[in-house]
Amino acid sequence: MFKKIHEKFINFKINRKVYIGYSGGIDSSVLLHLCFNILKKKDFSIRVININYMNNKNAKNWYIFCKTQCYKYKIPITTFFINSIKDKNLEQELRIIRYKIFLKLLNKSTTLLLAHNSNDIIETFFLNLFRGCGITGFSSISDNPVYKNFSIFRPMTDFNKDQIFNYATKNNINYITDFTNFDIKFNRNFIRYNLFNEINKKWQNFKTPILRYIDLSKYLNLYIKYRCNFFLKKNKNNNYLNLDSINFLPSYIKTEILKIFIKNNNIKPLSYKHINELNKILINRNKFSFFKINNFMFYINLKKLYIKKIKTHFFNFKFLKSNNFYKKIKNSNSLNFNIDGILLNNLILNIDKKKHMIIKYDNFLIILSGIWKSKIYSKFLRNFFYIKVLK
């Protein structure tokens, strides 16, 4: 194990300044031992990051243990104490807290070392599967990713938990045992102890083909990433997505391009259902079409996909569903104003007026989708688009 990890350190060419994520558990304790014996002797600058979640009754003892171990190795340690943690989706919240801390400490000249092993990779694969992640989620945990402004290296991903336990025993490595890791109310623990035990009754060697599939998924993701980057370089604008060629791409490439475009506009990732809705309106690239998700309007105009942030305080759904508003819009088309001129000024062309009702209300031009098809408010008020009209 030592020899193989030593080779990985040589091949990955990590930065000279290294931070180790250390909790005191068996995985990170083995990683600390390896780093001391491989990197310390080669004059790497090594520091330890320890995040102490104070909601555990053993938190103080764990802090003393981690500090003692780092003193033994003569490696500086920085501990962050986290007091307020919500119970809802605890695993995800802890991950967000950790990476916020990492972002404060690390930069382009540093590498963060983490102690994930092959068991963690398989567990993450199943977690992503049950969450409904796409193709990118099946590649699970990467060995050497770049996270925003720093790089991450996981040297122990080729080794399973049994091998790590044997290494710790052979080298007399001390570590702490966190008994919350056995609590099956947490998703990862449920997969680790309940699901895997059931699968193992039928397929004793099930982890090997899953790891092989994860490796294949990584190669597939590299190809998808290459195709997406090639297309987006041609697009050259984050404000809109050119649709002239996107509809000729395979559906899985198109989906990933949409995800990147949405991310570049600082919008939270969309659900699988919303991505499918967006794919449907892309087919009508020659016509004006749109739909609303949360506080954003996605609309197609002049063969381009735009994203527009909506002022939600103006469109209150209770107000829109009220009888007074409905009476007003029934008579609104009799008002004397130049609809086509306003649309033209806003570069909105090819709009099908049979499918979209266009009204003027106060100082806005509002386009309601599907109002002629149904008078059920919940249907036609789901989608609306508005343009501010200058007085």
CA 72/CA 51 separation, integer angstroms: 19
* 157, 163, 167, 169: CA torsion to nearest 10: 140
Task: Mention every residue, 6+ apart, whose C-beta is less than 8 A from residue 158.
Answer: 4, 8, 118
Q: What is the CA radius of gyration of the chain?
A: 27
Q: Is 28 annotated as contributing to ligand binding? A: yes
| 322 known ligand binder | no
Task: Please indicate if the annotation marks 151 as binding a ligand.
Answer: no
- Helices 59-73 and 26-38 pack at an angle, to 10 degrees, of 10
Q: What is the C-alpha to C-alpha distance for residues 91 and 88, in angstroms, rounded to an integer?
A: 9
What value, to the nearest 5°, has the Cα angle with vertex 54 and ends 50 and 60?
75
Nearest-5° Cα angle at 4, 192 to 209: 40
The single residue listed with the structure tokens 């764990």 is 62
Separation between Cα atoms, residue 117 and residue 163, nearest integer Å:
10
Tell whether 21 is in a known binding site.
Answer: no
132 annotated to bind ligand: no
- Longest CA–CA span in the chain (Å) reads 87
Query: Binding site annotation covers 26?
Result: yes
- Cβ(121)–Cβ(128) under 8 Å? no
| Identity of the amino acid at 341 | G
From the DSSP assignment, how many helices (H) and strands (E) are in the chain?
A: 15, 13
Structure tokens at 388: 């501010």
Integer Cα distance of 391 and 387 in angstroms = 13
Answer for the pair 76, 70: CB distance below 8 angstroms, yes or no: yes
Which amino acids are annotated as binding site, given as ranges?
23-28
Which amino acids are annotated as binding site for ATP, given as ranges?
23-28
